[in-house]
Amino acid sequence: MATLSSLLEYYYETMQEALLPLEEERKRIVKKLQTTAFYIGLGVIVFFIVLHKQMHFSPLQASVFSVMIGFLIFMFVYRHEKAGFTAVFKDQVIEKLLYQIDASLIYRKESAIGEQEYRRSELFLEAYDRFEGSDLVSGSIAKVDVRFSFLHTQQKERDSKGKERWETIFQGLFFCADFNKAFKSKTVVLPDVAERSLGVLGTWLQGMNVTRGSLMKLDHVEFEKVFVVYGDDPIESRYILSHALMEKIVLLQRKINRPIYLSFVASRIYIAIAYTKSLFEPILTRSLLEFSYIKEYFELLNTAVGIVEELKLNERLWSKR
């Protein structure tokens, strides 16, 4: 894991200067988008007048129609411009920050954790209709094989009016690694929403969740408050979730302060950290020359890379050596 001070040094001594051309490119794109928006705005007004006066649309119809066309054209230009910038941004910012943290890791901006691995984790049992991911990091951290990437899975739903919409199942960082103990059963640790909001009734409801295996009550008060555990072998679940590991998971949760999902399947650990936005994507309106902006990406990568050390996954028991 790298420290913030090492990033500061690297940023001001090497990175900032290298980012100048990219910053110029960003400014050019923003300007281009502003100009495009202006002309599209004019176009929308002209189109509205034509629709309303010449083709006798009602004002409401004409405005909806013209604004929609204008918006679609703008989004097309925006996406096209942003895609090119994002690719360069990932090479120049994300990859370099990652190498600054650990130069032995491999970064592939267009790859992601596969569907098979996502399903094997059993963290999210809902059937998905759209599976997207990017920014795969793989390699060995303290001799532990690790892979993580951004993932976004969605489900197509229809509301009462039959209108189609996409519901997010999971969006965020998906991490998997070799676990330091050998085991055969399956244990799933989920954020405890029911117990926190419903109390005893919540615990009772959790026990009724038949798709997840049996509910495990663990002997760590703090951990029990934040998480709910399901598993198919009570002894093995406790073998995996030792007191020390539960303590570390609680600390990790506090540090990240986001919903964390963990599962232990076939001697591997899967961790999903939920976010409400895309990760590793640039924000066009923010300057690359602002340290605080770059720092956010660094901290995200550092957290992911740091999981191995945080959970002490490198301290292996004999059978896993």
Residues forming the site for other proteins (CB under 8 A): 181, 216-219, 234-239, 242, 317-319
| Token pair listed for 54 | 């010449």
| Nearer of residues 33 and 218 to other proteins, judged by Cβ | 218
Shortest separation between residue 207's beta carbon and other proteins, angstroms? 11
| Token pair listed for 42 | 């004019």
DSSP 268: E
Shortest separation between residue 81's beta carbon and other proteins, angstroms? 55
Shortest separation between residue 317's beta carbon and other proteins, angstroms? 5
| Nearer of residues 246 and 262 to other proteins, judged by Cβ | 246
| Nearer of residues 60 and 235 to other proteins, judged by Cβ | 235
Shortest separation between residue 250's beta carbon and other proteins, angstroms? 17
Those residues with Cβ within 8 angstroms of residue 51's Cβ, 6 or more apart along the chain or in another chain: 57, 61, 62, 65, 66
Helix axes 243-256, 291-310, angle to 10 degrees: 170
Half-sphere exposure of residue 280, counting CA atoms within 13 Å on the CB side? 32
Per-position DSSP letters for 88-125, written without gaps between them:
HHIIIIIHHHHHHH-TT-EEETT----HHHHHHHTS--
Contact assessment for residue 142 and residue 179, using Cβ atoms and an 8 Å cutoff:
no
Q: What sections of the chain are H helices per DSSP?
A: 4-10, 16-49, 59-89, 95-101, 115-121, 193-198, 200-207, 221-226, 234-240, 243-256, 291-310
| Nearer of residues 239 and 275 to other proteins, judged by Cβ | 239
Shortest separation between residue 180's beta carbon and other proteins, angstroms? 11
Q: Are strands 268-274 and 164-178 parallel, antiparallel or unpaired?
A: antiparallel
Shortest separation between residue 318's beta carbon and other proteins, angstroms? 3
| Nearer of residues 237 and 253 to other proteins, judged by Cβ | 237
| Nearer of residues 127 and 235 to other proteins, judged by Cβ | 235
